[in-house]
Amino acid sequence: MRAFRIAEFGAVPQIDTVARPDPGPGEVRVRIAACGLNFADLLMIEGRYQERPALPVTLGMELAGTVEAAGAGVEPGLTDRRVAVFAGTGGLAEAGCFAAERCVPLPDAMPFEDAAAFQVAYGTSHLALDHKARLQPGETLLVLGAAGGVGLTAVEIGKAMGARVIACARGADRLEVARQAGADHLIDSDTDDLREAVTALGGADVVYDPVGGDLFTAAMRACKPDARILVIGFASGDVPQIKANHLLVKNLTVMGLYWGGYLAFRPEVLTDSLATLFGWYAEGRLRPHVSHTLPLERAAEGLELLRTRKATGKVVITMG
């Protein structure tokens, strides 16, 4: 089978032909239909991700497909089920073996492309806004990078939770994508003064930041007293440094969120969140935005779309 892999950190990924794996105890083999790309894939290639997998490694954190074989101790009824899996690695291949407990059954009407685009982006935003920030109806949510993979889901989920949403993104085209996802107010980070624009709208109760850099600083200064700031990632490449006295004066709370980290210490938090989100999808309340769907042989092109921030929503790779 084909697999998109790196042999060493910093190397250019390539498609290799490898043996189709057999599931071990507690595992299933999934015939992969689609895999969502994430900014974390780029960090993993460079060896800068929070976790460094053993090499060589097949890339691809989240996938969707059909269970085609089960190892010892796995419920037989799982075979032939359509599932989504957050695996961390192994998604950019025609098949892979994963822990059965990580398989989430898909709603019948959910296409594999939607499922592959769903878990990390929606899971991150729901866990951040609900579990961490306790976003309340009527509060003002500022979303930075609002047209990106996770930012766009924060706009959508924020509206579903009853917030007034301010979306910040680069350029009119990307802002239009955020508007269609439900944003109430739009700020162009290329031309507008973020602090001034948010302050004019009354300030932010919650900030969702997957970007970092100067936008973090401007957003922090536009917060209301007692606001919560969610640190999601650093797509700008600049990790901001926070002066603690600024937090003290305005009674601000800064919260970090590494979604996948919950698998190690509170996996039920992820499970409950995803169950809620798949329910919302089945009810028609969520509409994943996939800007590019590419075949496996163009996976490198898909990663470049993320690197250059030319994608809106998610980039999905299909196995064909």
Residue 191 backbone phi and psi in degrees, to 5:
-125, -25
Please give the structure tokens belonging to residue 174.
């990307």
Is residue 158 pLDDT above 90, yes or no? yes
pLDDT value of position 260 = 86
Is residue 51 pLDDT above 90, yes or no? no
**Architecture per CATH, 122-260:** 3-Layer(aba) Sandwich (3.40)
Is residue 268 pLDDT above 90, yes or no? no
3-class SS string, the chain: CEEEEECCCCCCCEEEECCCCCCCCCEEEEEEEEEECCHHHHHHHHCCCCCCCCCCEECCCEEEEEEEEECCCCCHHHCCCEEEEECCCCCCECEEEEEHHHEEECCCCCCHHHHHCCHHHHHHHHHHHHHHCCCCCCCEEEECCCCCHHHHHHHHHHHHCCCEEEEEECCHHHHHHHHHCCCCEEEECCCCCHHHHHHHCCCEEEEEECCCHHHHHHHHHCEEEEEEEEECCCCCCCCCCCCHHHHHHHCCEEEECCHHHHHHHCHHHHHHHHHHHHHHHHCCCCCCCEEEEEEHHHHHHHHHHHHCCCCCEEEEEECC
Q: Which of 24-33, 164-173, 276-285 shows the lowest mean pLDDT across its residues?
A: 276-285
Domain extents for the chain? 2-118+288-318, 122-260
Q: Which residues contact 97 (CB under 8 A, 6 or more apart)?
A: 21, 22, 23, 24, 27, 28, 29, 30, 71, 90
Render pLDDT for 203-247 as a digit per residue (tens, 0 to 9): 999 999 999 999 999 999 999 999 999 999 998 889 999 999 999
Positive or negative: CA dihedral 256, 113, 105, 77? negative
Greater model confidence, 309 or 10: 10
122-260 matches 2-118+288-318 in CATH topology: no
> Mean of the pLDDT values across residues 130-146?
97
Q: Which pLDDT band holds residue 75 (cuts at 50, 70, 90)?
A: confident
Average predicted confidence (pLDDT) for the chain:
95
CATH class of the domain comprising 2-118+288-318 = alpha beta
> Mean of the pLDDT values across residues 14-43?
96
Is residue 94 pLDDT above 90, yes or no? yes
Q: Which of 70-84, 108-122, 138-152, 260-274 shows the lowest mean pLDDT across its residues?
A: 260-274
For the chain, what percent of residues have pLDDT higher than 90?
A: 85
> Mean of the pLDDT values across residues 157-179?
96
Name the pTM for this structure.
0.86
Render pLDDT for 174-184 as a digit per residue (tens, 0 to 9): 999 999 999 99
Render pLDDT for 300-311 as a digit per residue (tens, 0 to 9): 999 999 999 888
pLDDT value of position 313 = 86
Is residue 102 pLDDT above 90, yes or no? no
